[in-house]
Amino acid sequence: MPEISRTATATWTGDLRTGTGRASTPSGVLREAAVTYLSRFESGEGSNPEELIAAAHAACFSMALAARLSREGTPPERIETRATLTLQVGEAGPRITRVHLETQAKVPGVDESKFRELAEAAKDGCPVSQLLKPGLEALTLDAKLVA
């Protein structure tokens, strides 16, 4: 199996509260996204590491579910996943404690039971889940088929 490396770059200027950051990817999909204290810990404009992790998790899960459904002979027409990541700030500092995945999929030819089985397997098997799960209090999933 080939080894694949991916990169991203982040730059921070200034102190934590008033400084600013930029994050980017070589693919150009993420171009100089603003990262700020306010966007991370309050409701300011810009992105933050947790939002980026949630996006990666939603994409990873959707792809893992598509792969499992396709292997079963029931490829999906559409999968839409929302990942909600919880960041708690405690005495030891900020910590990602939970991720909740909500997915809706249009999959001709699969029954509800098989779909849920494959969705649970994708939740546990996607590489981002595998990375995050050991440090989480909970990794949960709501999965439903839609017409």
What is the pLDDT at residue 98?
A: 97
In the prediction, which pLDDT does 13 show? 96
Q: What was the pLDDT predicted at 93? A: 92
pLDDT tens by residue, 30-75: 888 999 999 999 988 999 999 999 999 999 999 999 999 999 999 9
Query: Is residue 76 within 8 Å of 105, Cβ to Cβ?
Result: yes
Tell me the average pLDDT across 90-97.
94
Answer whether residue 124 shows pLDDT above 90: yes
Q: Which CATH architecture has domain 49-145?
A: 2-Layer Sandwich (3.30)
CA distance 39 to 45: 5
Distance of CA 80 to the CA centre of its chain: 12
Percent of the chain with pLDDT over 70: 100
What is the mean predicted confidence (pLDDT) over 131-143?
97
Encoded amino acid at 64, one letter: A
pLDDT of 1 > 90? The answer is: no
CA distance 63 to 122: 9
42-51 pLDDT, tens per residue?
Answer: 988 999 999 9
Q: Please state the domain extents for the chain.
A: 9-41, 49-145
Return the pLDDT at 118.
98
Residue 28 has a CB neighbour count (10 Å cut-off) of 7
